[in-house]
Amino acid sequence: MKAIAITQKLPLDHPECFVELDLPDPVPGPNDLLVRVKAVAVNPVDYKVRQSRKDEETEPKILGWDAAGIVEAVGSDVKHFRRGDQVYYAGDITRPGCNAELQLVDERIVAKKPASLDFAAAAALPLTAITAWECFFERLGLSAGDLKEGKGKTLLIIGGAGGVGSIGIQIATALTGFTVIATASRPETVEWCRKMGAHRVIDHSVDWTAELEKRGIPTVDYIACFADTNAHWANMAKAIVPQGKITAIVESSTVPDIGLMKAKSVTFSWEFMFTRSMFQTPDMISQHDLLKELATLVDAGRIFSTMKEHGGKLTPASLAQAHRDLESGGMIGKRVFETTW
């Protein structure tokens, strides 16, 4: 099979940072699907894994954890899929990624893609949707589909125009009754958040607690931080209600001062959507169920793809440029590529 991989630790401007290789076709294990990848999307985890590569590593590393494609073959114990099914998934960070012609993925973290979307639009959704869904309905404990639960309450989404924020706004407004407040700092990102369905948008480049207070919102009931956790930690401690809940997805090299949350008895939890696949947890099938429900919502017109840019064909050069743009922090929504080997 063809694949685009990193074979050594090189800067993005090096012409061989990413290289196209011919590799052996993977063979499915008992629970695996062998998927012919048709489209992929990029996420910050891609460049974080690239940056973490050791200088002495020599084995090719295939990145990419957002894909849509067609099932080519199934393992002996597969129950939910058959050859020819069109699927979408975010994969497993401990296995080779989707920047390849073929990929193995456990059926428990895969679902049939939304019928109303092409492969490119579908590939934009899985990783960010799983992340936002687990943040809201597992880490924060909200109830999916209960539109009465959040009436009169607020959910603050920090980083509303990014990949997770874009789909998170949609999921929260479609499946809860909360007033969804998103943060953004540029005219184009403010507009994007409103397009996603945010009820209010505030500027996170300034003291956003003051921005909330100007709007008569001294505190919020829940916070989902999809941006720099440390940078917003003090303001989150100030803005959260007593006994409120906060979830975050961006790791930090320094440990936040958890003591700031003590007086209010705040619950804080990390979210990492690869936890289930990394540790083979007994409830891995929940991500299949989640993506299946998301596809139903998309096909019903209640949620739409967050694909903002179609980057054309996946190549070493186009992938390097995507990593540059992700690292700059300026990407809105998702960028998607088609695989045309």
Instruction: Provide the pLDDT for residue 57.
Output: 73
Name the band, by pLDDT with cuts 50, 70 and 90, for residue 167.
Answer: very high
Q: Residue 45, by phi and psi: left (phi above 0), alpha (psi -120 to 50) or beta?
A: alpha
CB 310 within 8 A of CB 340: no
Residue 147 banded pLDDT, cuts 50, 70, 90: confident
Contact 65, 89 (CB under 8 A): no
Find out whether 266 and 240 touch, Cβ atoms under 8 Å. yes
Model confidence at 200, pLDDT cuts 50, 70, 90, reads very high
Residue 113 banded pLDDT, cuts 50, 70, 90? very high
pTM (whole model) above 0.85: yes
More confident residue, 54 or 315: 315
* Structure confidence by residue, pLDDT tens digits, 217-232: 999 999 999 999 999 9
Q: Is the pLDDT of residue 13 over 80?
A: yes
Q: Rounded CA gap, 326 and 316, in Å? A: 15
Across the range 232-238, mean pLDDT stands at: 96
pLDDT value of residue 317 = 96
How many C-beta atoms surround the C-beta of residue 201 within 10 A?
A: 24
What pLDDT is recorded for position 58? 76
State residue 2's pLDDT score.
97
Look at residue 53 in the predicted model and tell me its pLDDT: 85
Q: Which of 10, 48, 64 is nearest to 314 (CA)?
A: 64
As a whole number of angstroms, the distance between CA 219 and CA 89 comes to 36
Residue 70 CA: distances (Å) to CA of 29, 102, 119, 131, 189: 17, 10, 9, 23, 34
The predicted pLDDT at position 59 comes to: 86
- The string of pLDDT tens digits covering residues 305-340 is 999 999 999 999 999 999 999 999 889 999 999 998
- 246-305 pLDDT, tens digit per residue, is 999 998 878 789 999 999 999 999 999 999 999 999 999 999 999 999 999 999 999 999
Q: What is the pLDDT of residue 125?
A: 98
Residues contacting 188, CB < 8 A, separation 6+: 332
pLDDT class of 153 with cuts at 50, 70, 90: very high
Predicted confidence (pLDDT) per residue in 57-91, tens digit: 778 999 999 999 999 999 999 999 999 999 999 99
Which stretches of the chain are assigned E, i.e. beta strand? 2-5, 19-22, 32-41, 67-74, 86-89, 102-106, 110-112, 154-158, 179-184, 200-203, 220-225, 240-248, 267-270, 307-313, 334-338
- CA 38 – CA 40 distance, rounded (Å): 7
What is the maximal distance between C-alpha atoms in the chain?
A: 60
Q: To the nearest whole percent, how much of the chain has pLDDT over 70?
A: 100
